[in-house]
């Protein structure tokens, strides 16, 4: 079930007015800061190169990865960020979400290419959002099968079928952290260093943008995925030091035996063990 690959062309960074003078620190990483677009900056739409209407603090453009991968920069102080083999300062209007999601795929080449598109960013971890998108990738609903590009033969089966298992592996390297001066899924909470981007907005109905609040949303999402949809959840926490974050992963899995606490060096062997023993995958 290999979804189509969308090709995009870089075009709009050269015309953007970005703010490269914000604070030099983001979650303890020197130089990692969001270079917000000017309020009147143009946004591009989907994978097209044409301009659309302007919005305040536009934070997304489908051309960003290709632009950075070609060696170009959003700010003069930013080093080349590819290949990603060490923690580097990152900037750009979409630096906290640098690559689009890949749906279910049977193509190892496509999966490896998508992994190469990814790089860590400081802060802004919101596990419940990733969980919801994982559920959507497993969903047989027409809205999501069309969104991911699955054809009729390859689309996910119904959740209620007893002869098949749906499994989700949640991999994380940290605790939930709400964005403080750049928007995440629920907005942000600190207006002091946003400059031309304007005030932070927050999603209505979100209890609070704290680690505890996001942990509660994560556990609620895990409970719904397991209990309402019958999806088996395994969690893998990599180099996570905080006990509260590890406890959240255990609650998410619903069973301590399905929650793994590993180091980066143990990641490969952990996935091999999951495939051979827990998931019983066959060719």
**135 and 47 in one domain?**
no
Order of all β-strands in the sheet with 232-238? 167-172, 232-238, 259-262
Q: Which pLDDT does position 138 carry in this prediction?
A: 94
Q: Is the dihedral of CA 189, 20, 76, 58 positive or negative?
A: positive
Name, in order, each residue with C-beta under 8 angstroms of 239's C-beta and a sequence gap of 6 or more: 173, 263, 264
Name the phi and psi angles at 189, rounded to 5: -130, 5
Distance, in Å, from the CA atom of 184 to the CA atom of 246, rounded to the nearest integer, reads 22
Q: Which pLDDT does position 120 carry in this prediction?
A: 67
Q: Which pLDDT does position 63 carry in this prediction?
A: 64
Distance, in Å, from the CA atom of 40 to the CA atom of 55, rounded to the nearest integer, reads 7
Q: Which pLDDT does position 39 carry in this prediction?
A: 44
Instruction: With respect to residue 113, please indicate whether it lies within any of the assigned structural domains.
Output: no
Structural contact between residues 252 and 175, judged by C-beta atoms closer than 8 angstroms: no
Instruction: With respect to residue 2, please indicate whether it lies within any of the assigned structural domains.
Output: no
Q: Which pLDDT does position 4 carry in this prediction?
A: 37
Q: Which pLDDT does position 280 carry in this prediction?
A: 61
Q: Which pLDDT does position 58 carry in this prediction?
A: 42
Distance, in Å, from the CA atom of 244 to the CA atom of 246, rounded to the nearest integer, reads 5
Residues of the chain with pLDDT under 70: 1-64, 74-77, 86-98, 119-123, 182, 193-198, 207, 278-283
Q: Name the domain count of the chain.
A: 2
Q: Which domain holds residue 228?
A: 123-283
**182 and 129 in one domain?**
yes
Instruction: With respect to residue 222, please indicate whether it lies within any of the assigned structural domains.
Output: yes
């Amino acid at each position: 079930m290999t979804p189509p690959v969308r090709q995009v062309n870089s075009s709009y960074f050269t015309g953007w007015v970005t703010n490269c003078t914000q604070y030099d620190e983001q979650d303890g990483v020197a130089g990692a800061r969001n270079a917000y677009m000017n309020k009147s900056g143009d946004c591009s739409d989907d994978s097209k190169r044409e301009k659309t209407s302007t919005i305040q603090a536009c934070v997304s453009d489908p051309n960003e990865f290709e632009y950075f991968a070609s060696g170009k920069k959003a700010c003069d102080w930013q080093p080349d960020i590819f290949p990603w083999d060490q923690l580097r300062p990152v900037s750009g209007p979409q630096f906290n979400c640098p690559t689009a999601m890949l749906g279910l795929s049977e193509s190892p080449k496509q999966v490896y290419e998508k992994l190469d598109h990814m790089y860590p960013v400081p802060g802004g971890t919101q596990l419940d959002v990733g969980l919801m998108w994982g559920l959507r990738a497993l969903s047989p609903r027409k809205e999501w099968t069309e969104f991911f590009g699955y054809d009729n033969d390859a689309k996910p089966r119904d959740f209620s079928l007893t002869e098949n298992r749906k499994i989700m592996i949640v991999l994380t390297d940290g605790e939930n952290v709400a964005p403080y001066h750049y928007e995440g899924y629920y907005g942000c909470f600190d207006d002091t260093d946003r400059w031309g981007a304007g005030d932070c907005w927050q999603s209505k109905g979100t209890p609070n943008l704290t680690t505890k609040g996001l942990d509660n949303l994560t556990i609620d999402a895990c409970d719904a995925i397991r209990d309402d949809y019958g999806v088996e959840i395994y969690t893998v926490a990599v180099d996570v030091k905080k006990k509260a974050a590890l406890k959240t992963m255990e609650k998410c899995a619903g069973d301590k035996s399905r929650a793994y606490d590993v180091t980066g060096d143990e990641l490969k062997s952990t996935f091999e063990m999951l495939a051979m023993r827990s998931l019983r995958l066959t060719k």
